[in-house]
Amino acid sequence: MWLLGILANCSSGSSQTSSNVSRMPQYSVGGGEFPQIDHWLQSVPQETWIGIAVVGGLILLALIFWVLAAIGNGGLIAGFHMAETGETVTLASAFQQGFSFFWKLLAIQLLLGLASLVVILPVVFGGALLSILTLGIGLICFIPLICLLIPLGIALSIYTLLTQIALIVEDLDIVAAFQRAWDVFRSNLGEVIVMGLILGVGSFVVGLILAIPFILMVLPFITGLLVDTEASTIACLSVTLIGILFYLPVLLLASGIMRTFITGSWTLTYHSLIGTTAE
């Protein structure tokens, strides 16, 4: 289950990605058939091509992690559901059952993700525009709205997970899963809030503990910058990078365990809630 938890954790939390591009190929179009395009491509700085490659690589990685997260999350929910109903749970069986809901899980994530963007983007651009027009004074008016978006975002993440659980546990289609999750969420609001607070505070504390080694690893690099010599900077940066490299597997495992616990807790909670929710 921890392996599925690591997959499910791919789209959450923070990640550090480094890309080294030693050289970029020279681009040309044909043998001069399109001189204007050829001239434009050659006039683009090499740093721009590097930036495009890095951004494209990050987007590709994000998409891959997003797909892996859907597979892992489906396997986790299916595994805990099988255990709750008395079935024998193996990695293969949980993975296979969760994978059978892959496209539906991906559609749920996509729909709710787009819905959140529809709400968040106008607020962000509106706040930025108002801040520019009022020289920063208008940003004060957006602080309460920003504070309101935080609990709304948490509620949306809980609703998303409940929808995915409803989809697998009750073998529903996408529309029915949305409706069922909303009914369970609304009818058991108190229990959902309490569970969300417990898991949310616990995840926050664990996240802080896991972040402490990263902070300690950055200290050598900061020391090298303060000494302000090339040798000290390179040496301290090497120490920091080596430390992070060795810590990443530990962080990945710990995050996977935490994701397994959170998803499993919500799956078992859902089983309990639907036992007291009127059909």
28 pLDDT above the threshold of 60: no
Instruction: Name the pLDDT band for 33 (thresholds 50, 70, 90).
Output: low
Instruction: Name the pLDDT band for 3 (thresholds 50, 70, 90).
Output: low
Q: Which of 38-52, 109-123, 171-185 has the lowest average pLDDT?
A: 38-52
Looking at mean pLDDT, say which of 50-59, 123-132, 205-214 comes out highest.
205-214
Instruction: Name the pLDDT band for 12 (thresholds 50, 70, 90).
Output: low
Question: In 3D, which of 13, 118, 106 has the Cα closest to residue 63?
Answer: 106
Which tens digit of pLDDT belongs to each residue from 140-167?
Answer: 766 777 777 788 888 888 998 999 999 9
Which tens digit of pLDDT belongs to each residue from 193-231?
Answer: 999 999 888 888 988 998 888 888 888 777 777 776 777
**Given this model, what pLDDT does residue 270 score?**
92
* CA–CA distance, 167 with 146 (Å, rounded to integer): 31
**Given this model, what pLDDT does residue 14 score?**
38
Tokens 């930025």 belong to 128
Average pLDDT, integer, range 122-143: 70
Residue 100 DSSP SS3 = coil
Amino acid (1-letter code) at residue 58: L
Question: In 3D, which of 73, 93, 117 has the Cα closest to residue 263?
Answer: 73
Mean pLDDT, rounded, of the chain = 76
Average pLDDT, integer, range 68-95: 79
Does the predicted TM-score (pTM) go above 0.85? no
Instruction: Name the pLDDT band for 242 (thresholds 50, 70, 90).
Output: confident
Which tens digit of pLDDT belongs to each residue from 166-196?
Answer: 999 888 889 999 999 999 999 999 999 999 9
How many other C-beta atoms are found inside a 10 Å radius of the C-beta of residue 269?
20
Pinpoint the alpha helices (H) of 26-173. Answer: 35-43, 46-84, 91-99, 102-133, 139-169
Instruction: Name the pLDDT band for 71 (thresholds 50, 70, 90).
Output: confident
Do 79 and 1 form a contact (C-beta atoms < 8 A)? yes
Where is pLDDT greater, at 14 or 47? 47
